[in-house]
Chains A and B, each alone.
Chain A
Amino acid sequence: MKREIVLKVNGESYQVYVSPEKMLLDVIREDLQLTGTKKGCEAGECGACTVLMDGRPVNSCMVLAFDAVGREIVTIEGVGGLEGLHPIQEALVEHGAVQCGYCTPGIVMTAKALLDSDPNPTEEEVRKALAGNLCRCTGYVKIVEAVMDVSKQISESPELREKLSQSQEFGAKTVGR
């Protein structure tokens, strides 16, 4: 039976009327029409559906929407925004780390969670952090280079560090429906 729930996504509260078997992924894409989050394997394997839940990357295809009530959800629409791309997105473009682009939103979310918690990871740590995001096109090398590059930019620029620490809220505000 359908019920009304409130989900907090990108800083905004959304009232939705959904069945209890509906996955967070499907509510995000269909009910909220935020289609940046991609649907791949629907089995927790590929990472295309990655969103942040209370700051941590999770597979939204494995989470019941009802179970996400009360959590802070951030999707790709909550990253960057009208003021421009997030530095991770910029770096992925710069490094040619986007081909078909299907994995990219998931990669951005995972990389953001990594750099938010550890702005200075080793290459090995970047690879481990991205182990749950499959990419069929790029071979990963450029993706890893891009993330390492952002890390370098952060360590060299206090302004960027400042901007990124604010951007968690900034992204949330600039999302549209």
Chain B
Amino acid sequence: MQNFNYLEPGSLWEAVGILEGLEGKAFPLAGGTDLVRTFKRIGFREHGVINLKKIPELSGVKFDGQVMSIGALSTVSELLANSEVDEHFPVLAQAARALGTPQIRNLATIGGNLCTSSPASDLAPALLAYQAKIIITGPNGEREVAVNEFFKGPGQNVLDRGEILTRIDLNLPVPGTIGAFLKHGVRKSHEIALVNTAVLIIPVRGSDKIAVARIALGAVGPTPFRAWQAEEQLAGAEGGLPQFEEAAKIAQELASPIDDVRASADYRKHMAGVLVKRALFQAWGGKV
């Protein structure tokens, strides 16, 4: 391929076929907010895009009362405009609100956010906390991957040759589930996270105890991840600041951030603990 190639398949199977044939040469195009930036850096020549926008199955958000199915091409703005997302998956809505700028949110898709597999993704921690299922279609048909198995490293994921992320399924959380998303950056908005976290707590009904806690962290490791040991610490415990501090300390030890021009690894690690504590406390109804 000499020139930049622009392809616009009208069906998923066609897209999979093209992608399989042009692996490493042409890339699926969703919102383009990551891909176009990459091409601007490495050059357009010799490459190509397979625009996914003409594939009907990839669009739309559906909710049947139990499962919310989010098409890979749903933009961050579409998630924010959807009242069912806000009502049933508020932590995802909070994460969506924290992503980029209004202009970027109008372009950026949830599928692109996952496939870019940036350790600092804002949607990933929320999807980890909700235990999202990722639905993938490829040359061998459809398969499903739990979101905590999707990421393999910075910019790397489980997608194989010819595979396209088609949708994300979220199960309705148990009634009474509470949660929070927090992002820490240098500025208030328009900022890639130095650390971000999404937490969900399922309280034991009619008591101050925690049945289940889920804590996900981003930007402080090669991939966004669940802080399992911190979650275990909270399961069955009383909810309250001392317990949250203890869990946050464990979560902080699981963080392995990088040093760069924006912040030191030590600072990021410290803030991971602070943010987890705040998120748990905020979810629990406290103010920090």
Interface residues of A (CB under 8 A from B): 1, 19-21, 23, 42-45, 47, 50, 53, 56-59, 62-64, 66-67, 110, 113, 128-129, 131-132
Contact = CB atoms under 8 A, between A and B. Distances in A.
A1 B4 CA distance: 7
B287 interface: no
20 contacts: A20-B4, A21-B6, A42-B40, A44-B103, A56-B77, A56-B106, A57-B102, A57-B106, A58-B103, A62-B31, A62-B32, A62-B36, A67-B32, A67-B51, A110-B102, A110-B103, A113-B102, A128-B189, A129-B102, A132-B101
A122 B39 CA distance: 38
Interface string B22-57: 000000010111001101100010000101010000
Instruction: State the majority secondary structure of interface residues on B.
Output: mixed
B190 A131 contact: yes
Contact of A132 (B4, B5, B190): B190
- Residue from the set A45, A53, A62 with the largest chain B CB neighbour count within 10 Å: A62
Given A20-B5, A21-B44, A67-B32, A131 B106 contact: no
B3 A1 contact: yes
Nearest to B54: A70
Nearest to B190: A131
A37 B103 CA distance: 15
A45 B107 CA distance: 13
B104 interface: yes
Contacts of B39: 21
Interface residues of B, number: 27
A131 B189 contact: yes
A125 to B, nearest CB: 11
B185 interface: no
A44 B33 contact: yes
Given A20-B6, A42-B40, A131-B190, A67 B102 contact: no
A53 B53 contact: no
Given A21-B39, A43-B40, A64-B6, A131 B32 contact: no
Given A21-B44, A67-B51, A128-B189, A44 B6 contact: no
B32 A63 contact: yes
Closest 10 CB pairs of A and B: A132-B101, A20-B6, A21-B44, A21-B4, A131-B189, A56-B106, A132-B103, A59-B103, A131-B190, A57-B103
Contact of A66 (B33, B51, B100, B190): B51
A1 B29 CA distance: 18
A56 B103 CA distance: 8
A56 B36 CA distance: 19
Nearest to B189: A131
Nearest to A56: B106
Question: Which has the most chain B C-beta neighbours within 10 Å: A50, A53, A58, A129?
Answer: A58
Contacts of A21: 4, 6, 39, 44
B55 to A, nearest CB: 14
Contacts of A53: 106
